[in-house]
Amino acid sequence: MALVKTPSTLQHAQPALDDAEVERIRNDFPALAQEVNGHPLVYLDSGATSQKPRSVLESEQEFYEQRNAAVHRGAHELAVRATEAFEDARAAVAAFVGVDPDELVWTSNATEAVNLVAQSLATATVWAERGRGGAETRRLALGPGDEIVVTELEHHANLIPWQELAFRTGATLRWIPVDDAGRLRLEDAASVIGPRTRVVAFAHTSNVLGTVAPVGELVALARRAGALVVLDACQSAPHLALDLRALDVDFAVFSGHKMLAPTGIGALYGRRELLDALPPFLVGGSMITTVTMERAEYLPAPQRFEAGTQRISQAIAFAAAVDYLAHTGMDRIHAREAQLGERLAEGIAGMDGVRLLGPGPGEEWHGKGRIGLAAFDVDGVHAHDVGQYLDSRGVAVRVGHHCAQPLHRRLGLTASTRASAYLYTTTEEVDVFLDALADVRAYFGVA
């Protein structure tokens, strides 16, 4: 399996994908060629999960037909082939985000990856109390007086694990607030991140507002405090060319299903020295060196965190997905989605009785525009009703709080509707969505 180019070798400032190229791309996605409720499907829910190209579907099928065996266990030929494909996939996904293969741990999804870091830090605290582990492990221990910092923008998956870590260790959870519009209050970040901060965790891109975080500024504050940085890259890895090493984060998480890969596979990046210092998250077979009836010794990362039978076919399909993205060109995908995001923002902001969340048309927050995602609130109509009406017109969107209740509460909302585009979204589909959205208030009699 050929390795994809790392982000540092990709050409920048490439032109956006044009309509003709997007139409050709769509031919690779069988799910898009169907009707829903008597209308051609307009799929604007890629922020929740992406559709899959044939190359990804076929890669998983080919594994089961030709190489199906357990990895890292057998000496027979099929096991060797399976192991090679599994580790080649790790190398491909690692290269896609600019890191080394032994710094990438397979997980079921990004939520598990965040929990892996948080719960391993909790275990490091227990190990330190009981004299287990080396000096590096003991330095990772948290306790009363220590602080964990998140933002008010976070998805629940990057909030609740830190709440639990604070509860288990006696540390204090703090957060960087947002203003009335949802913009991160960077002026408050320097006072929130301080000498007691041990962990700073934040989303690279908001799954509600479509905004890109000021990573450099937040990392600099964390470094000044000597804190670990955990980046939620779920909404950036599918849409931006990532070089995690250049971003100088200690850990990063992302999910395959949001970036053309199957469900059930995600990844954790961690600095090699930190992964090897962390206690394991799950224990059992395949992650040990020596086991007696009294105790076990564990392998270094990444196997240290991959107990039991692994997600082999999903990992192989994940590699096929990043290969597809890399060959399409992440910079070109991002440029295209920025255009679609602006088209969404302009159309939504121009409607009476519809409130666009996040940056307005042409507006940049923290020096960056939005990705191809826009959430909104329709005055007088619940988000679920908005979603059902759009579905009746063949348009698939997301409704609810998008696993970001604190942010919605801060914005004075309980729920919103979200439209999210991807590399296979056409400008015509955005316009079909906007036309349908324009009819919502009249349909429910609140215009």
Q: What are the catalytic residues?
A: 403
Question: How buried is residue 357: exposed, middle or buried, by Cβ count under 10 Å (0-12/13-18/19+)?
Answer: buried
Residues 6+ apart with CB under 8 A from 240: 204, 205, 212, 330, 334, 371
Residue 144, token pair as written in the block: 């009363």
Is there a contact between 406 and 152 (Cβ–Cβ < 8 Å)? yes
- For every residue of 42-103, DSSP letters joined together read EE-BTTT-----HHHHHHHHHHHHHT-S-TTT--SHHHHHHHHHHHHHHHHHHHHTT--GGG
Looking at residue 3, the DSSP 8-state letter turns out to be: P
Q: Using the structure block, give the residue that is written with the tokens 């579907």.
A: 57
With H, G, I as helix, E, B as strand and everything else as coil, classify residue 262: coil
With H, G, I as helix, E, B as strand and everything else as coil, classify residue 423: coil
Q: What is d(CA 392, CA 403) in angstroms, rounded to the nearest whole number? A: 25
Q: Using the structure block, give the residue that is written with the tokens 């293969």.
A: 101
Q: What is d(CA 296, CA 284) in angstroms, rounded to the nearest whole number? A: 10
- For every residue of 355-414, DSSP letters joined together read EE-SS-TT--BTTB---SEEEEEETTS-HHHHHHHHHHTTEE-EEE-TT-HHHHHHTT-S
With H, G, I as helix, E, B as strand and everything else as coil, classify residue 253: strand
Query: How many separate helices (H) and strands (E) can be counted in the chain?
Result: 16, 17
